[in-house]
Structure 1
């Protein structure tokens, strides 16, 4: 199921919870599907953003920031071991 299908199922179960004898079970299932819909939507958005940057030949800002931080740390460590003026 994708995010939209989970959302639809959550709506169906929530509506059924009002009509059925034991609404707690249906409400719980509706909550599960709603949570899965949110997780799927988040994953879809993350994949979309990654693909958007890749399609434009760019790297995501988070990846660029990680690379810069790693380079700065490496330069700092190297400076501690190199003699001055090198």
Structure 2
């Protein structure tokens, strides 16, 4: 079995990619664009939203909130509406 080496590099301002000397000049290479490192920003927003929900739950528990009677169908409808709202934000 043959192996293929993988190298990680960053595109320079002159649009070149620096590779180790072990890669011969003229070698065929593949380039794969990776997500930017600030992709964690999306997780930060999700985590903040999750924390807000947890805080609301804690607040409801501390105020002795009692949940209203609700059917499974009504609950599913509310969940669907919340998911649709989250997609638009």
Q: TM-score range by the shorter chain?
A: 0.3 to 0.5
Q: TM-score, length-normalised on structure 1?
A: 0.37
- Choose between structure 1 and 2: higher helix proportion: 1
Q: TM-score, length-normalised on structure 2?
A: 0.36
Q: Quick one: higher RCO (CA 8 Å, sep 6+), 1 or 2?
A: 1
